[in-house]
Amino acid sequence: MELVYRKTERGLVEMNTRELRLAPRLRSALILIDGKKMDYQLQGLLGPQCADTLAALQDLGLIEAIRPIRIGSLPARR
């Protein structure tokens, strides 16, 4: 199943404040997460530690996974 990751409100605050003093790897990943890139695209950018990195950011409440909406899968309007 394909997923898209987006920053939560807390993630957006962290981008501005750097309050959590994230490790460079986590901060770089947080910067890349834009609510548009698919999980497989992030895998290509983040490399073999992608799953661990995304899990760490989710555990901190900085990102959340959502399912992308496909235009062809929308119900027809009456």
**What is the CB neighbour count within 10 angstroms for residue 61?**
12
Structure tokens at 69: 């909406």
Q: Which residue has the higher pLDDT, 63 or 67?
A: 63
φ/ψ (deg, to 5) at 9: -55, -40
pTM: 0.83
Q: Which residue has the higher pLDDT, 69 or 26?
A: 26
Mean pLDDT of 12-31: 97
Q: Residue 2: its pLDDT value, please? A: 86
Q: What is the pLDDT of residue 70?
A: 67
- Confidence bin at 54 (pLDDT 50/70/90): very high
Question: Mean pLDDT throughout 39-53?
Answer: 94
